[in-house]
């Protein structure tokens, strides 16, 4: 009997070594862009519904993208867009009349597709950041503290790759914990660091006026994440709305109003579909301190942006 146990114990490291050798000699997936009509149609559908804020059309576009991805499961863009659709679905779940517990499957699927995108294109810092978001959110939903830690460090690596983009992307899901928690305070610090990077200066936190830096707008290089683009036509406005919300939640409504006002500097502000939502936030900043801290808002105007039902399209909806 003892000899059997000895054999079993010796077999475990041998099997582990065999597995490592087998994996080392098995080729990894290689990125290969799709050029089929199906992929073209799927990508067009993705951008159309995102830029038009058509949340209800997500399932149809998911089917198209998944069909294209099954046709070529080596395309990182298709994987990334599938991941984004699933995270969009759960982020704006407040739009659904009846929110089912199965909505949590969206974050599991989002994590799977962003993992694929990272495997296929590890150099894309956006995929790295979104993967960290899904890990963090999944850990929060299922009370898995180790997964939250893994997600946090994944986000730290993504920040190192592209801080102008990922300080915001990392801080956004971290705006949900208690206003006095270490994680929330760090997320708010990351928003200030984004402003310092985007301005090339150290903004006065008491008077955070971004107007002196508006002439620096660019569509090139890492700094493009600071401004509006075809991908995110109102990224600038959405950033300041979210940061203002975080400051309201932290109990700093006066500073929040100054941050909110920076959104009005955008040359596309008047065409922003959510400018009325921001104007109400400016008017009701003091009252929203309680709503945001207690998470008892029952409308988009009294809920943190991430819980408003418009947490993705705030930046991406063009009209």
Instruction: List every span in the chain annotated with CATH 1.25.40.10.
Output: 37-92+102-161
Average pLDDT, the chain: 94
Q: Quickly list DSSP for 246-309.
A: HHHHTT-HHHHHHHHHHGGGSTTGGG-TTHHHHHHHHHTHHHHHHHHHHT---SGGGS-GGGTT
- Domain 37-92+102-161: state its class: mainly alpha
Q: Convert the pLDDT of each residue in 179-202 to its tens digit.
A: 999 999 999 999 999 999 999 999
CB neighbours of residue 285 within 10 Å: 21
C-alpha distances (whole Å) from 311 to each of 68, 76, 197 are 27, 24, 23
DSSP reduced 3-state for 83: helix
C-alpha distances (whole Å) from 70 to each of 33, 61, 158 are 13, 14, 27
The residue whose two tokens read 């890492």 is 222
Burial category of 160 from C-beta neighbours within 10 Å (exposed 0-12, middle 13-18, buried 19 and up): exposed
- Rounded CA separation 7/178 (Å): 53
Residue 28 DSSP symbol: P
pTM comes to 0.92
- Rounded CA separation 170/184 (Å): 11
- Rounded CA separation 228/214 (Å): 12
- Residue 219 pLDDT > 70, yes or no? yes
| pLDDT tier for residue 229 given thresholds of 50, 70 and 90 | very high
The residue whose two tokens read 């067009």 is 44
Mean pLDDT calculated for residue range 260-267: 98
Q: What percent of the chain has pLDDT over 70?
A: 95
CB neighbours of residue 182 within 10 Å: 9
SS3 content of the chain, % helix, strand, coil (to 5): 70, 0, 30
């Amino acid at each position: 009997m003892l000899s059997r146990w000895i054999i079993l114990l010796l077999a475990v490291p041998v099997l582990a070594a065999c597995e490592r050798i087998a994996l080392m000699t098995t080729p990894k997936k290689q990125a290969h862009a799709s050029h089929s009509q199906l992929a073209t149609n799927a990508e067009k559908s993705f951008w159309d519904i995102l830029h038009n804020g058509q949340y209800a059309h997500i399932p149809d576009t998911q089917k198209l993208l998944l069909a294209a991805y099954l046709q070529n499961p080596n395309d990182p863009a298709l994987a990334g867009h599938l991941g984004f659709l699933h995270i969009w679905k759960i982020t704006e779940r407040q739009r659904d009349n009846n929110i089912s517990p199965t909505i949590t499957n969206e974050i599991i699927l989002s994590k799977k597709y962003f993992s694929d995108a990272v495997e296929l294109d590890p150099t894309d810092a956006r995929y790295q950041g979104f993967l960290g978001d899904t890990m963090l959110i999944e850990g929060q939903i299922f009370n898995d503290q180790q997964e939250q830690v893994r997600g946090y460090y994944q986000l730290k690596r993504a920040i190192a790759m592209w801080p102008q983009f990922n300080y915001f992307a990392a801080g956004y899901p971290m705006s949900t914990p208690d206003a006095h928690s270490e994680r929330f305070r760090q997320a708010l610090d990351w928003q200030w660091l984004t402003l310092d990077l985007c301005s090339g200066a150290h903004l006065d936190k008491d008077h955070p006026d971004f107007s002196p830096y508006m002439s620096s707008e660019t569509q090139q290089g890492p700094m493009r994440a600071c401004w509006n683009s075809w991908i995110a036509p109102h990224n600038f406005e959405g950033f300041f709305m979210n940061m203002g919300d975080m400051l309201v939640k932290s109990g700093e409504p006066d500073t929040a109003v100054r941050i909110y006002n920076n959104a009005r500097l955008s040359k596309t502000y008047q065409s922003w579909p959510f400018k009325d939502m921001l104007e109400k936030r400016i008017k009701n900043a003091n009252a929203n301190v309680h709503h945001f801290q207690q998470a008892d808002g029952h409308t988009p105007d009294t809920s943190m942006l991430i819980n408003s039902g418009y947490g993705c399209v705030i930046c991406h909806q063009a009209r």
